[in-house]
Amino acid sequence: MLNMTRSRPWIVYRDLSHALGDIIHLHVLGQHIVVLGSAQAIYEYLEKRSANTSDRVQSPMIELSGSSLNIAFMPYGQWWRRHRRSFWQYFHREATEGYKNTQQSAAHIFLQELWERPSDLREVIRLNFTAVIMKIGYDIPIQSKDDPYLKIVRDALEGPLEGLVPGRFLVDFLPFLRRIPPWFPFAASQRLWVKWQAAGERLKNTPFEEAKAKLARGETTHSIVANSLERLSNTGISSPEEEEIVKNVGAIVFEAGTDTVLSTMLSVFTGMSLHPEVLTKAHAELDAVIGPHRLPDFSDKDSLVYVNAIIKEAMRWHTVLPMGVPHATIADDEFRGYFIPAGTMVIPNTWACMHDPEVYEDPDVFRPERFIRDGKLNPTVQDPTAFSFGFGRRICPGRHFAEAVVFINVACALHVFNITPPLGEDGLPIEVKQGHTDSFLSYPEDVRCTIKPRSATAEALIRSHATAARQALNG
């Protein structure tokens, strides 16, 4: 069973669900595991009964991957509530309205960066999101692709990405393995864990200390960290514990959003490259709604029905979290006649839900039209965003922020760029592999594509907006 589920386990579990039903029970080395294989089962158990399903199994890999401060993996309780409350005050729907100017400026810079180095799509997207987070979180500008903070973020995200697929590391089931020293022969995993934990600490501490030093020097600074520290000071409740929460919340934003945004945007570009008919329809809508002489902004969102459908289809087609973040039961429970012991790991197979042919016809096909009826988004079609950001009381509190970042970047990019298959040395299109990576957060496997401005007018739009955007974001 361990070997069977260590590579793309969401497919294995999907096949088991087809044979055995949408509730599967496994018992692996003392750990009870329940896999929910349908949207209905997930909704009934993780949403409607979240009072008992909102805990997390405290796998050793949460700490060893450098993810122990991430609110998504904290045990359900007061410490988690304090972090969520602190995070939520800056990221509820109304609060995120205040970040839209920063997000839009970053999107304009993204266009210029992508025009100048289109072959670095992955890194350009990462630069864009990191710049937004560093600005609102710490008031620290990201100046270039060589900024040291980009490496700090990249290194810190490696651990969660590679280390949190359930069952990939045997230490999940044999905890004594964590005590093997990293210098021991054949201790390659242990050496990885040391590296990942150090990277997580750098992400938590380095930007926080810079933001704190700005305050100490009396510099005028507006950021989540600065505002939080000033509030603690003004209310007289500052303490090492409260400061630790502020520090953690700053770092949580990266781990909660960076790779979700990255995976979704890579899926959009891959979909456009493989399906030119979709891009043609997107261009037609953008030309009709926006016109050639400006870029999209957030006020256009409701009018860009097809662009919104593309984003939903990208999230469905390449599921960002194929097995979500596993929940755990707090007390003994019963569900559909099955006894579920306290401490059971409950895995929502979100990939299977997003590729259910009874819900989405031809699920392997990229088809945004499935979300549209009579020229509007169809509310009767299962919305992929409901599966991308978690369930019940553990739903991602940063979802509104992440959705806004994806929308403004996708809308602006589709408005000014043609996106076509990559070309070989002979000038002929190269076949792109339609697969996804085997990791906790999953990406399209082959994201090569050709990205060029649609016209001279599009080039002028990119140029004219980038300079002002850099001044706004880095000033």
Q: Which residues make up each annotated binding site?
A: 396
Summarize the annotated binding site for heme as residue ranges: 396
Alpha helices by DSSP H, listed for 420-455, are none
Cα dihedral sign, 368-373-377-379: negative
CA atoms lying within 13 Å on the CB side of residue 238? 11
Could you please report the per-residue DSSP string of 145-194? TT-HHHHHHHHHHHHHHHH-STTSSGGGT-GGGGGS-TTSTT-HHHHHHH
Could you please report the per-residue DSSP string of 2-22? TTTTSSSHHHHHHHHHHHH-S
Could you please report the per-residue DSSP string of 248-290? HHHHHHHHHHHHHHHHHHHHHHHHHHH-HHHHHHHHHHHHHHT
Q: Looking at residue 438, what DSSP letter applies?
A: S
Return the beta strands (E) in 283-434 as ranges.
327-328, 333-335, 338-340, 345-348, 372-373, 376-377, 417-420
Q: Residue 276: how many CB atoms within 10 A of its CB?
A: 13
Cα dihedral sign, 458-463-469-474: positive
- Separation CA 62–CA 60 (nearest Å): 5
Cα 408 to chain centroid distance, Å, stands at 16
Residue bearing tokens 């505002």: 227
- Separation CA 351–CA 349 (nearest Å): 5
For residue 128, give the nearest of 412, 353, 352 by alpha carbon.
Answer: 412
